[in-house]
């Protein structure tokens, strides 16, 4: 069995996306991720995607290759978050987190902060990783409350 790892990236959308399209994208992603046993979440703000992915290293690497090739966006910053001891989002095959839900739980600021932290030139790789993982742990604690939102 391979290692449990996590990756986070930010990307720039190559066109506009409606909320319905973002939801559909995440539904399609979730269907494939279920087979790959990859979990995580997707956020979109002002033309920028942020995605957090966790799973067995081979599955995450294969998926990242597909995602990098996708012409709908351009991956700009990718951070290898290293080995995990457990998943942060075990029940989320790919949860799209709309901005209004983040605002409702006062998670919008940290969710945007995490995007800034994917730029490893700002703090260096080790600090970026640490900061991203710390925000991921925080968002993970809100899982049940997020699931109860509409």
| Residues making contact with ligand FMN (CB under 6 A) | 11, 25, 29, 32-33, 42, 49, 51, 63, 66-67, 70, 72-73, 94
Query: Measured from the CB of residue 104, what is the shortest distance to ligand FMN in angstroms?
Result: 23
Toward ligand FMN, which CB reaches closer, 94 or 107?
94
The distance of closest approach from Cβ of residue 27 to ligand FMN in the complex, given in angstroms and rounded to an integer, is 10
CB nearer ligand FMN, residue 37 or residue 130: 37
Report, in Å, the least distance between residue 75 CB and ligand FMN. 9
Strand-by-strand arrangement of the 39-45 sheet? 73-83, 4-13, 48-56, 39-45, 95-96
Provide the token pair at 148: 């109860």
What 3 state SS string does 83-150 have?
A: ECCCCCCCCCCCEECCHHHHHHCCCHHHHHHHHHCCCHHHHCHHHHHHHHHHHHHHHHHCHHHHHCCC
Comparison of 63 and 81: residue with beta carbon closer to ligand FMN: 63
* Least distance from ligand FMN to the Cβ atom of residue 129, Å: 20
Q: How far apart are CA 30 and CA 106, in angstroms?
A: 25
């Amino acid at each position: 069995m391979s290692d449990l790892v996590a990756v986070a990236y930010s990307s720039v959308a190559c066109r506009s996306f409606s909320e319905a399209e973002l939801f559909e994208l995440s539904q399609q992603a979730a269907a494939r991720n279920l087979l790959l046993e990859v979990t995580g979440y997707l956020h979109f703000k002002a033309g920028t995607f942020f995605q957090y992915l966790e799973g067995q290293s081979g599955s995450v690497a294969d998926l990242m290759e597909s995602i990098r090739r996708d012409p709908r966006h351009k991956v700009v910053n990718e951070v290898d978050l290293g080995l995990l001891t457990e998943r942060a989002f075990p029940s989320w095959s790919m949860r799209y987190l709309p901005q209004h839900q983040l605002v409702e739980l006062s998670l919008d600021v940290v969710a945007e902060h995490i995007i800034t932290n994917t730029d490893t030139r700002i703090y260096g790789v080790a600090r970026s990783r640490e900061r991203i993982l710390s925000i991921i742990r925080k968002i993970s604690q809100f899982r049940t409350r997020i699931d109860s939102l509409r």
